[in-house]
């Protein structure tokens, strides 16, 4: 039961603190990109991912294979391809995606 409540808390946080989490995510992603993209480009890219994540979560975190995550998976695939074409390494791309975790954890600490 606690896990379901925790997942609802995270989903609520994603909805309520979008601007703060997104700003921290963009900052974390930019730190590892070595100037390959502008802040505006990264913000646009990650904003679309963030919105797809929030949409997919609905009332809680779905299983990883749930169809609700198809749009998010497609956007992650496109981000990966576009970053590779721009010269980013897989590690740089992964670090920018995983920067969301730090942004969310920071907001959870403040909540």
* pLDDT greater at residue 101 or residue 6: 101
**Residues 6+ away with beta carbon under 8 Å from 28:** 96, 99, 100, 102, 103
Distance CA 103, CA 7 (A): 16
With bands split at pLDDT 50, 70 and 90, how would you rate the model's confidence at 76? very high
The pLDDT value recorded for residue 2 is 43
Distance CA 10, CA 73 (A): 20
3-state secondary structure of 86: coil
Distance CA 94, CA 77 (A): 12
**pTM metric for this prediction:** 0.87
Q: Give, rounded to a whole angstrom, the gap between the first and last alpha carbons of the chain.
A: 21
* pLDDT greater at residue 92 or residue 60: 92
Question: Would you say 107 and 20 are in contact if contact means Cβ atoms under 8 Å apart?
Answer: yes
């Amino acid at each position: 039961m606690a896990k379901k409540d925790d997942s609802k808390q995270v989903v609520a946080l994603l909805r309520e603190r979008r601007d703060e989490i997104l700003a921290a995510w963009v900052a974390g992603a930019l730190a590892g990109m070595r100037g390959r993209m502008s802040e505006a480009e990264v913000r646009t890219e990650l904003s679309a991912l963030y919105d797809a994540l929030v949409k997919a979560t609905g009332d809680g975190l779905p299983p990883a294979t749930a169809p609700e995550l198809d749009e998010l998976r497609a956007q992650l695939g496109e981000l990966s391809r576009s970053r590779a074409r721009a010269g980013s390494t897989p590690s740089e791309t992964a670090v920018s995606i995983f920067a969301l975790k730090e942004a969310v954890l920071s907001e959870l600490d403040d909540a």
